[in-house]
Amino acid sequence: MSYFEVNGINSFYGDSHVLFDVSMRLEQGEVIALLGRNGAGKSTTLKSLSGLVETKSGSITLEGRELRGAAPHRAANAGIQLVPEDRRIFGALSVEENILLAGLTAKPSWPLQQVYEMFPRLQERRASRGTDLSGGEQQMLAIARALTRNPKLLLLDEPFEGLAPIIVRDLLAVCKGLAEAGQTIIIVEQNLAAALSIASRAYILNNGHVVFDGTSAELKESPQILSRYIGV
């Protein structure tokens, strides 16, 4: 059994069937990219894995523990941390308060200094309120909040979207550092080059179905697949 396994999940928004028999697997320390056009089901997949979207069948296991149907807090306590596209930081709280609050219920949580070593910019802005941060700083804070909970699986939903190239470069360096340190990651990202630079394997979704499962190298050498399902 793989470290993290998804077998044949079917997800629904109310009566609308949005994911169809989606399966994927990750070994511990592996980074995979989840790719596809807008509306393909990528964010829905991440929300399904973290308990935010209802799955009516299939299996989701982390270290052999069944999590399908688990409430979001139970999935989080089991080690799955989602960094959503809209970041969900507390705008009225300072950077440091945001980080400390996220770590309160985690056992063990990262020491504050470990977070600041990964994000020196956040240490510089530690007294600033969330609303006073730039988009890039807010994204760093959202990732830092997830990391402080010492996740077994980190889900990143469009972490580079709308950010300046220099910020993307810095965040990409952080993601690469996490990967090299053994963090297991699923990244959803429109920036194909960025995603494939840190992911060893990729899955492509199309209309809620998995249509590609292979290595990043195989995908880069498949222009017809990229053209058909991603529009590259």
Query: Distance between CA 96 and CA 121 in Å, rounded?
Result: 12
Q: Into how many domains does the chain fold?
A: 2
Q: What is the pTM of this model?
A: 0.95
The encoded tokens of residue 136 equal 């890039």
174 lies in the same domain as 144: no
Specify the pLDDT at position 151.
96
74 lies in the same domain as 18: yes
164 lies in the same domain as 226: yes
Residue type, 15: D
Whole-number mean pLDDT of the chain?
94
Query: Distance between CA 16 and CA 4 in Å, rounded?
Result: 26
Peptide bond into 108 cis (omega under 30): yes
Specify the pLDDT at position 1.
82
Which of 160, 95, 145, 165 shows the shortest CA–CA distance to 124? 95
Which of 121, 134, 56 shows the shortest CA–CA distance to 89? 134
Q: Please answer whether residues 22 and 136 qualify as being in contact, where contact means their C-beta atoms are separated by less than 8 angstroms.
A: no
**End residue of a domain, out of 151, 172, 194:** 151
74 lies in the same domain as 172: yes
Does 232 score more than 80 pLDDT? no
Strands 54-62 and 65-66: antiparallel
Q: pLDDT digits over 190-218, tens only?
A: 999 999 999 999 999 999 999 999 999 99
Helix axes 165-180, 135-147, angle to 10 degrees: 10
In a domain, 190, yes or no: yes
Query: Distance between CA 36 and CA 190 in Å, rounded?
Result: 8
Q: pLDDT digits over 104-145, tens only?
A: 988 889 999 999 999 999 999 999 999 999 999 999 999 999
Sign of the CA dihedral running 160, 177, 65, 87: negative
Specify the pLDDT at position 105.
85
Backbone angles phi, psi at 8, to 5 degrees: 60, 45
**End residue of a domain, out of 151, 183, 202:** 151
1 lies in the same domain as 61: yes
Query: Distance between CA 138 and CA 121 in Å, rounded?
Result: 11
